[in-house]
Each structure stands twice: as C-alpha cells, then as structure tokens.
Structure 1
Amino acid sequence: MAPIFVRSLLVAAAVAVSGVAMVGCTTTPPDSQGSPRADRSALEAQTNATLSRLYDTAPGSRELISRAKGVLVFPAVIGGSFVVGVEHGRGVLRSGQRTLGYYSTTGASIGWQAGGQSKAVIYVFNTQDALDKFVNGNGWSAGVDATVAVGKVGANGMIDTQTAQAPVAAFVMTNAGLEAGVSLQGSKITKIAL
C-alpha cells in the first residue's frame, strides 16, 4: 500500500510543478488589453508568418496548401513538462484566403520528461470530406477522428507524394525547421470564440 501512496504523491507533485511552470508560458504580454479583435489580428498575423516560414522550409508546400480544401495553422503550441507533459495553442482554420474559424489544441503525455518547447503545427485538409468531418465534428482528435500523415520532404527536396495524397497531412516546425517522426496522436482540437 505504501508504494501506491508514494507514487500517487509523486504524480500529484509533478502535476503541481507542471502547472506552476506552465503559468510562465504565456504569449500575452502583461500590458496586453486582450480584446477579441486584437487577439484575432495577432493570431492572423502569426498564421501568415508561420505559413511563409513553411513555404521557405518545405519546397512544394505552397502548392500543396493552395490545392488543399482547408488549412489549420497553430503558430505557437507551447508545451511544458515535468513527468506530466501538457501543451496548448490557438490556431486559425482557412479555406483559400477566407478564415473559417478559430481553434485551440491541447495535449498531454505521461512519462519521464522535463523541459519546455514551442512549435508550430499545420494541418492540411487535402479532401473536402476530411475538411467537412473536421468542421462538422464536436471536437477532433488526431489519430482518433482522422489519420494524419506527418508531412515529409522527399529525397528530391520536395513534399513527398504520400503527404500530398493523404486526406489530412500535418507539418510540425520548431526553430530548427521541420520535425520528422513526430506523433500528433491524442492532440485534441476544439473550436473557440475569439
């Protein structure tokens, strides 16, 4: 009975420490007014910058996104962990040049881990059916509601054909560039009002 109590106590302490650490992970300056209009404008500008960075990083991505039925961009998914990992970000869903809505993503993981990071996540809906299922769903989880192919650049330096043909593809970028082999399983995405 004592080992279970100790393990429970350690998990509770880890959650508490993670919560305190996440308080420092804000992208809103202390003097920000936080109005919905300002939040939308800032998120739209960050989305444009993230897409430009993707186009520069992954040749062929501009063409892929221009043919896509929709693209969901999370410019900054902030994560922090100490045994229990938590990440959160806000994003914009677009079809062509039109904004369809605003979304949040959250994820959690348990395991031996420590630290924090920020990454951009871009979901590309290549088919109308995939976009419709996403838009009409009440919340959406990568790997549960749809199989998501993590975007790769082939040996020729262009987006690989498997990425371009998948109903939903995703790109994950850090400061170092595109990340390969990343799992987006369990990331929960829900619509928000901004």
Structure 2
Amino acid sequence: MERRSFTSLSAVALVLAISGCTTTTGSKTDPASKRREIDAGVDSSLNKLYASARGSNELAAKAQGILVFPNVIAAGLVVGAEYGEGALRVAGQTVGYYSTTTGSFGLQIGAQSKAVIVMFMTKTSLDKFRNSKGWTAGVDGSVALVKVGTNGNVDTSTATGEIIGFVVTNAGLMANATLEGTKVSKLDL
C-alpha cells in the first residue's frame, strides 16, 4: 500500500512540476500573449522540421491540417509524464490551441524537450479530430511516425496513412518514439 501511495504521489508531483503549476496567486498570462508565444514556437518547429527532413515540406503542403506542439516537456523518475501546448493550423492559419499529455510507468529518469508534429492527411481524419471532445493517439486515430532515411529524405514507406507524425529533438528526428496514448485536449485561449 505504501509503495502505491508513493507512486501515486510521485505521479501527481511530476505532472504538477511539468505543467508549471504553482500555489501562488498572481497575474495570469495574457491569452493574446500566450497565443503569440505558441504560434512563434509552431513556426520555429515547422522550420526546423523542414530543414532536417527533406520531403516534410511537401507532406505538409498536402496535409489538411497540422497540429504542432513545439515544446513537449517529458520528465520521469519511474513514473513519467509529458505536457505541452500547441496549435492546429489549417491552410497555414491557426484555428485552435491544444494541450497534450502522456503518462508512462517503467524504468526512466531525467527530462527532455521535444516537438511533436501531427499531420492530418485527409479531411475525414481532420474533421474527426476537430469534432472530438478529447482525442487520443492510437484510440481515436492511428498515427504513423515518419522516419528519415540515411540520405536525409523522408522515408515514403512510413509517410503513409491518414495521420502521420514527427517527433523532433535538438538532435533531429527522434527514432523509436511513439505517440500511442497521447491525449490531446482543446485549450480555451
């Protein structure tokens, strides 16, 4: 019982630390400033993707919508959690703001930051996402993570499907990543 309590308390503390929650009362971030900050991060993340994976710009041009989380923070000590905020773009325009959360359990320690980019390649997949009250990768839509070949080009065999995704770190595209179980919720900004 004590071990389960410790694990539960650890998970709660980790999520609070990642999401930046505080117990102090102060001024809230101005929603317009928060939107500008997220949009700037989205622009930066897309530019980094286009520079590091040849062919990703062409995929983006074909996408019906692109969901970008420019700064997903992952941290863990046995219990892990991830949190980030981002925007959905349709035809190059931001149409909504979202948060992403993921939890995990297992051997892990440390923290890292990454960008998560999800491209809805069909109108049906985009509409299903936009009409959901809460969307979970692997449950509400299967996301095929795209790999980049040794030549730096997008591997077209992994760039198929209605929804495709990229995970980008400072070192470039992340190998062996998964988005399964990632929960996406609409932000009220």
TM-score (norm 2): 0.89
Residue 53 of structure 1: how far off its partner (Å): 0.3
The change in CA–CA distance for 1:32 and 1:181 in structure 2 (over 3 A counts) is: farther
Q: 2:80–2:103: 8 Å Cα contact kept in structure 1?
A: yes
The equivalent position to 1:119 in structure 2, one of 114, 132, 136, is: 114
- In the alignment, the residues of structure 2 paired with residue 78 and residue 130 of structure 1 have an alpha-carbon distance, to the nearest angstrom, of 26
Tell me the residue number matched to 2:94. Answer: 99
Which position in structure 1 is the counterpart of 2:80? 85
**177 and 156 in structure 1: CA distance in 2 versus 1, 3 angstrom threshold:** closer
**Which of the residues 16, 32, 35 maps onto 1:40?**
35
CA–CA distance in structure 2, aligned partners of residues 128 and 120 of structure 1: 24
Identity of aligned residues (%): 45
Larger radius of gyration: 1
Query: How many pairs does the alignment contain?
Result: 185
**What's the offset of the Cα at 1:64?**
0.6
- Distance in 1, matches of 2:88 and 2:61, equals 14
Instruction: Pick one of 172, 184, 191 that aligns with 2:186.
Output: 191
Structure 1: gaps spanning 5 or more residues: none
Q: 1:13 to 1:169 in 2, by over 3 A?
A: same
Q: CA deviation at 1:13?
A: 5.0
Q: Structure 2 counterpart of 1:129, which letter?
A: T
CA deviation string 1:118-176 (max 9, x = no partner): 11000011111111111111111111111110011135432122343211000001111
CA distance in 2, matches of 1:175, 1:32: 32
Is 2:137 the partner of 1:142?
yes
> Does structure 2 conserve the Cα–Cα contact (< 8 Å) formed by 1:71 and 1:122?
yes
Shift, 1:22, TM fit: 3.3
- 1:190 and 1:33 map into 2 onto residues whose CA distance is 20
Instruction: Give, in whole Å, the separation in 1 of the partners of 2:113 and 2:67.
Output: 17
Structure 1 length-normalised TM? 0.87
Residue type of the alignment partner of 2:18:
M
Partner of 1:18: 14
The gaps in structure 2 that reach 5 residues or longer are: none
